[in-house]
Amino acid sequence: MTSLVGKMVTEAFHRDDEGRLLREGRTPDEFRKPDDFELKTCPYAGGRFQHEKPMNASALRQTSAHWDEICNALAVVRSGYAAARPYKPDVMDLWRVSQLGSSLPWFFLFKRGSVPAYAAALAKATQGVGLWTQHMLVRQLTQQWQPPVFDAEIMAADAEASGTLIGPAEVCAGSDKMLARFFETYLDGEGTGELAAMRDELITFGAHYASFKLIVWIYYLARRYLLHELGTPAALELLQRPCEPADFFVLESPDAGKVPRPMRAMWLKPLADLVVPFAPDKSDAPHAMAALQLAVASGLPGTPAETFARLDTIFGAAIGLVEKAFGGTTPPTTDSLIAAGTRAAFQSPG
């Protein structure tokens, strides 16, 4: 029986209640239909104007049809987050609100059995904001860049300058006017209606979702140090695999395999500090400790296999908590959530 966390990570065929794919361009070809995508040249000013990469006109139609619902849903999750934490907003505030939006389709799928079109469309838009905020986080961590005081105009300008509006295969299909309202909603607004009445439930689910993604990332980065240290053909092959989660980035010190164990912990500690609880029921509080434990375990003496085992135990407990928060009863195996062959690489003598 597949766990809910496992479904979220591995199942790419889900669609919303209007038949649109939840993962859009990230969906494997075998789950696509011929009419899923209508691609057109982008007419919007800036870097997207008549770009060689097209925009998804069919996604824009759905977004336009549900625009008020989308902005209302964003206001609901933004206000729910702001009720739990002081809201400046800073880079991580914007990232966490984006993750709340991205978690909505999974909330509805797991709790209600189907995904409203507006929730799916919001998740695709907030995924873009999540990528943009990660660009800013890299600048903060590696270049001592200080973010500005955000307003809608500054947010739109930085998203444009960072290249976030131009994806690997498509450009953002939102007009300048839509982007402006979207960013304004990140700054203010409460949201109304049925969704607002269930706000605490949405925020609790999304808080576990956001912490889960950060913990997956920290676990992945901690393993990379061990793979560098191993240096076997299997380890080197795993270092070429995509980042986990796929919408994050590799961030590690130069000559990672030569970094002493205590320095690895010091490198990962600031990333662990990004995991903060904000669920109304406080059920996500253990995630902060799990993230810290991953960083600390990376700095302890031991062989790569011994350290991997410590990391894996910590990660397993964390995803068990996420599974429970999602309403599942079957915790996923850790191997189902990481690159195939990882455990074997640490068990092999070389």
pLDDT in tens, 275-293: 999 999 999 999 999 999 9
pLDDT at site 261? 94
Q: Is the peptide bond before 260 cis (omega within 30 degrees of 0)?
A: no
Q: Which backbone phi and psi does 15 adopt, to 5 degrees?
A: -130, 160
Burial class of residue 201, CB neighbours in 10 A (0-12, 13-18, 19+): middle
Nearest-CA neighbor of 345 among 215, 223, 220, 217? Answer: 223
3-state secondary structure of 111: helix
pLDDT at site 56? 85
Q: CB atoms < 10 A from the CB of 344, how many?
A: 11
pLDDT at site 340? 94
Token digits of residue 225 = 């140090």
CA dihedral in degrees (197, 200, 203, 205; nearest 10)?
-100
CA atoms of 125 and 119, how far apart (whole Å):
10
CA atoms of 65 and 117, how far apart (whole Å):
10
Tell me, what DSSP letter sits at residue 27? S
pLDDT in tens, 1-55: 689 999 999 888 999 999 888 877 676 667 777 676 788 999 998 999 999 999 9
Which residues pair with residue 166 across a beta bridge?
171
3-state secondary structure of 262: helix
Token digits of residue 192 = 């109304």
pLDDT at site 142? 87
Q: Where are the alpha helices (DSSP H) in 162-260?
A: 176-187, 193-197, 199-230, 233-238
pLDDT at site 312? 97
pLDDT at site 170? 87
Q: Which residues of the chain have pLDDT under 50?
A: 350
Cβ(283)–Cβ(211) below 8 Å: no
Would the pTM of this model clear 0.85, i.e. be above it? yes
pLDDT at site 332? 87
pLDDT at site 303? 94
Q: End-to-end CA distance of the chain, in Å? A: 34
Q: ∠ CA 72-76-79 to the nearest 5 degrees?
A: 130
CA atoms of 18 and 246, how far apart (whole Å):
26
Which residues pair with residue 40 across a beta bridge?
55
Token digits of residue 17 = 């209640």
Q: CB atoms < 10 A from the CB of 258, how many?
A: 11
CA atoms of 65 and 17, how far apart (whole Å):
14
Cβ(167)–Cβ(53) below 8 Å: yes
3-state secondary structure of 55: strand
Half-sphere exposure (Cβ direction) of 131: Cα atoms closer than 13 Å: 18
Token digits of residue 5 = 């966390």
Distances (CA, A) of 12 to 86, 142, 321: 35, 34, 23
